[in-house]
Amino acid sequence: MAHFGFPLEAIVIFFAVVGLSVYLDLVAHKNAREITASNAAAWTVFWVALALCFYVYVWLRFSKGWADLYLAGYVLEKSLSVDNLMVFIAIFASFGIKSHLQHRILYWGILGALVFRAIFVLIGTSLFLASPWVGFIFAAFVAWSAIQMLKGDDDEEEIEDYSNHWSVRLTGRLIPVYTRLHLDRFFVKHRELFLHGLDNDEKAVTRSGALYVTPAFLCLMVIETSDIAFSFDSVPAVISVTQEPLLVYAAMIFAILGLRSLYFVIAALTRYLVHLEKAVIALLFFIAAKMALQSWNHVFGDTGFDISPGQSLAVVLGMLLIGVIASFVFPEKEDENAKEEGT
């Protein structure tokens, strides 16, 4: 089979479809204060359908062989992205962000992922030599986040003061940080704080500056870093299916575009399925162990144990299914207590 290359027609159609879809997504959620389960599910179906439409286009316009390579890469990337989704849940839990602000952070985080994945695909696998050590760091972070969720899984309040938050302690001396969430802003000017009387408390900022980053921006940076860490494994995996850059990038982008909507499907379900969050916590420990095992195999030699994308996806779906079933079989007893109080 000859090289697929970069057909101008395919490039124009691909980027036009992606650009229009991202724009529609932004407009649809421009004033959204909360992403509902039905809305997120509809967008999840839309993104999957869009990916399949591109498959049909490549099949009809070029050949079934090229289309199958793209589809194989898409399915593989989608499977690997589920792990990334679980880490997003851990990051938001670590920052105590549970409101509509998750939508804004994920939106810009995924736009950044589009750029980083393009760079990684162009560079190839040579960049991924550092991945084992990155994997160890994120495995520890994910495990720590799961432990924090276990300790405070009943706390529904957002963090109001981030002065002692680990992200502020880590970056506060490097860049000026305003230690509170300010609307849905990533940056806030000192002049704005002065006008609103928010600069009176010296503890509200880590150090004086003309422009401050907010905890929302710090959370966004962790989201971006986590995506880069997962790119170290997912990009070479998809490249192993096909070395055609355009097909690799298309498979990754269509998988990533649907990731945010899928996140809100699970996040919305956790409000109604009382034991689903416990399943997510168990999955975080699984993801941490998987990342540590992969890094160990790369750094210290093959242990003989390996978790394939298919096996990982089966564990994720299986654990989520157990959480759903448990929620119906063992519902919360708060309703009974509420009835007794009402009588």
pLDDT band at 241 (very low <50, low <70, confident <90, very high): low
pLDDT surpasses 50 at 288: yes
Average the pLDDT over each of 6-10, 15-19, 272-276, 330-334 and give the range with the smallest value.
330-334
Please tell me the distance from the alpha carbon of residue 237 to that of residue 31, in angstroms, as a whole number.
37
pLDDT surpasses 50 at 41: yes
Reduced to 3 DSSP states, what percent helix, strand and coil does the chain have, rounded to the nearest 5?
Answer: 75, 5, 25
pLDDT surpasses 50 at 125: no
Question: Given this model, what pLDDT does residue 150 score?
Answer: 76
Average the pLDDT over each of 15-19, 131-135, 230-234 and give the range with the smallest value.
131-135
DSSP tag of 159: P
Give me 64's structure tokens: 């079934």
C-alpha distances in angstroms, 314 versus 93, 118, 319?
24, 28, 8
Question: 91, 222 in Cβ contact below 8 A?
Answer: yes
Question: Given this model, what pLDDT does residue 162 score?
Answer: 78
Please tell me the distance from the alpha carbon of residue 41 to that of residue 291, in angstroms, as a whole number.
28
Question: Given this model, what pLDDT does residue 49 score?
Answer: 92
pLDDT surpasses 50 at 339: no
Inter-residue long-range contacts of 207-210, CB under 8 Å, 24+ positions, other chains counted: 207/172, 207/173, 207/176, 208/176, 209/175, 209/176
Question: 142, 284 in Cβ contact below 8 A?
Answer: yes
Question: 121, 172 in Cβ contact below 8 A?
Answer: no
Question: Given this model, what pLDDT does residue 52 score?
Answer: 92
Give me 158's structure tokens: 């957002």
Place of tokens 């001396």: 173
* pTM score of the predicted model: 0.74
Question: Given this model, what pLDDT does residue 43 score?
Answer: 84
pLDDT surpasses 70 at 48: yes
| Collapsed DSSP state (helix, strand, coil) of residue 252 | helix
The closest of 138, 160, 53 to 90, measured between CA atoms, is 138
